[in-house]
Amino acid sequence: MPCPSPVQLRALRRRDPVLGQAMRRLPAFPGFPDASGRRLSHWQSLARAIVFQQLAYKAADTIFQHTCALTKGRGLAPPKDFLQIPLPCLRAAGLSANKAASLRDLAAHIEDGRLPIRSLGRFSDERVIAELTAVRGIGVWTAQMFLLFKLGRLDVLPTTDLGIQEGLRLLDGSAKRPTPKEVEKRCAVWAPLRSVGSWMMYRVVESARAAPQADF
């Protein structure tokens, strides 16, 4: 997977000195994808993303593990086998009706070839998003997370992501979070490493949460 060179990272810090200051005190960008992303197949990564939508991590992870346990073997059943799991079993694992339907639709798209899952890594970012958002339950944000954390693309900017919006608010000392359009405009200077800037915004938020609060 591509990883930015030290020269590219220095250029990014020069283009955005405010971000550059934050990068000097925050953890170094580790590169994408992370270890968890490398362990999962494309099918499993996307299925997991659907399960985790709008749920706390612990609850979502429990449901995903229960879903994996519905068939023999490690991990989630392959799409062909997954489609044979009765809906009541999926619901009993903790999946909502909508998420069960979304997982089935994803499996069907892969199985019948509508989603060329093995070719996604060769497609442009725009085509990956278009291919994935044709599946029920996968929106632009989920597709962008796949680009970031599974395919390791370096110039992705999820403008609707609340973590990135909050990170920018903290970075710039603003009173309110920027809108998606404001995020896009503000972060244009990060190209072609907008993924790096996005990752840093998550770390900005984490750092602010971990900082000790004044006790008045």
Q: What are the residue ranges spanned by the domains of the chain?
A: 6-32+156-210, 35-149
- The DSSP output letter for 113 is T
Q: What is the mean pLDDT of residues 127-153?
A: 96
Write the pLDDT tens digit of every residue in 28-68.
Answer: 998 876 655 567 899 999 999 999 998 999 999 999 999 99
Q: Which fold has domain 6-32+156-210?
A: Endonuclease Iii, domain 2 (1.10.1670)
Flag the least confident range among 29-33, 82-86, 89-93.
29-33
Same fold, 6-32+156-210 and 35-149: no
H or E element at residue 182: helix 180-186
Is residue 210 scored above 60 in pLDDT? yes
Tell me what pLDDT residue 2 has.
66
* Overall average pLDDT of the 156-171 stretch: 97
Residues 144, 156: contact at Cβ < 8 Å?
yes
Query: CA-to-CA distance for 51 and 101, rounded, in angstroms?
Result: 11
Give alpha helix (H) positions in 40-174.
42-52, 57-68, 79-82, 87-92, 97-111, 125-132, 140-149, 162-172
Check residue 3 and give its pLDDT.
83
The domain 35-149: what is its CATH number? Answer: 1.10.340.30
Query: Which residues carry out catalysis?
Result: 161
Percentage of the residues of the chain whose pLDDT score is greater than 90: 88
Q: Which of 33-42, 80-89, 160-169 has the lowest mean pLDDT?
A: 33-42
pLDDT, mean over the chain? 93
Give the Cβ contact number of residue 168 at 10 Å: 23
What is d(CA 34, CA 107) in angstroms, rounded to the nearest whole number? 24
